Structure 1
Amino acid sequence: MQKRHALRVSLLVCLTIAPLAGAAELYRYVDDKGVTVLNRQGVPPEYIGKGYEVLNDQGRVVRVVPPAPSREEMQRQLDEQARASSDAQLLRLYTSVEDVDRALERKLAELDGLIGVVQGNQQSLRRQLTGLQSQAAESERSGQDVPAHLLTQMERLREEQKRLDKEIARYQAESEKAKTGYAADRARLAELLGSTP
């Protein structure tokens, strides 16, 4: 009859059982040879990840410890949790796709305002630089060297212009990023709400 069983079962019995042990538990697991093992001492560390069962003294399963998930499964679970968290936050922020559209409009208006301020500063710098260049030209026409402080001021203004150019480029990049991000939020919210994007 034992030959008919698909799995061999080996039973390891402890030779010494502590007298204070109440209800004895058995641990059932499969070893690396595919043999189902019953053990009163527990599951060896190398087999814990494969999952095991805990049986009571009548041989009934009282607890099942499932196998540890694979890396792919773990990553999938983490991705699902992140998606669920993101979806919950999206539903807290917006009640309709129109809310997303309005939020994008506000964000773009804010960035346009910041770009406008920087462009205003650039105009002011250009006027200052034009004035300093005019003074430098006057000095040269009168046969004098351009004062060092004038050259230094002009160089500082040019550096400031470069910095403001970078700032405008950064705000423009933020604007494009916002459009992409809000479009994704809009599409996902429409999916969650079951409406048309």
Structure 2
Amino acid sequence: MRRLSVICFCLSLGPLLSPFAIQAAEAPEILLYRYVDSRGVTVLDRQGVPPEYAAKGYEVLNSRGRVVQVVPPPPTAEELEQVQAAKTKATADAQLLRQYSSVDDVDRAKARKLAELDALVDVAKGNILNLNAQQSSLQKQAADQERAGRPVVHALIDQLNDVRDQRQKLQADIVRYQTARAEAEKDFARDRAHLQLLTQ
């Protein structure tokens, strides 16, 4: 009977003791922070890592001395540049692979682009020939007026100036097309070589 009373007493204390038992089980584990100070000495600290040392990276250890987390130092400006350069290269590579499936695609695209630029040059040269003929006709009219002892009319002078301006613009266009053609050849050659490396 006495034994039964003791058991009942212990059971009655159970609800009172259980919160303490739970609290002990859920108590946060003590962590240690390991870092290197300005003298090069490895330090273990429960309070944390001072800001001036945290930037160099540190480790978090549990109460048994095992590393549970490694906090690396932040990347340097050079490392950030390298990461950004790698991302830019990866994006460019992916775009090139989407644009061309083989070097033959590059060759066909190059031929189309160069033919387009050559056609623009031919059109500009043809327009210049037409302007040259128009200029010769206007100059003849101006010479006829001068031989007749009359001043050259302003409308004729304006036409001659307009023809001259148009021809200069067309000549500048031809130079621009030819420059674009040379740049296109370089770009396609670079893309072709790079695509060969990516598809090997």
TM range (shorter): 0.7 to 0.9
TM-score (norm 1): 0.77
Is 1:71 aligned to 2:82, yes or no? no
Indicate the residue corresponding to 1:6 in structure 2.
none
Answering whether residue 191 of structure 2 is matched by residue 185 of structure 1, we say: yes
2:136 is matched with 130
What is the match of residue 178 of structure 2? Answer: 172
1:136-172 deviation digits (Å, cap 9, x = unpaired)? 1111111111122222221222122111111111111
Write the mapping of 1:1-197 to structure 2, written as runs, cut at 5 A.
22-194=28-200
Instruction: Report which stretch shifted further, 61-70 or 89-98.
Output: 61-70
Instruction: State which drifts further: 121-130 or 55-64.
Output: 55-64
TM-score for both structures, normalised by structure 2: 0.76
State the 1:80 CA deviation.
Answer: 2.1
Evaluate the alpha carbon distance shift between residue 164 and residue 32 of structure 1 in structure 2; reply closer, same or farther with a 3 A threshold: farther
Distance change >3 Å, CA 133–CA 39, structure 1 → 2: farther
**What letter matches 1:91 in structure 2?**
L
* Structure 1 residue ranges without an equivalent (≥5): 1-20
Q: Percent identity?
A: 52
State the SS of the aligned residue for 2:59.
strand
Task: Supply the distance in 2 between the matched residues of 1:112 and 1:62 (Cα, whole angstroms).
Answer: 67
Q: Using the alignment, how far apart are the partners of 1:45 and 1:143 within structure 2? A: 95
CA displacement at 1:64 relative to structure 2: 1.5
Q: Which has the higher helix share?
A: 2
Q: CA deviation at 1:90?
A: 1.4
One-letter amino acid of the counterpart of residue 108, structure 1: L
RMSD: 2.2
Unaligned runs of 5+ in 2: 1-26
Q: Which residue is equivalent to 2:14?
A: none
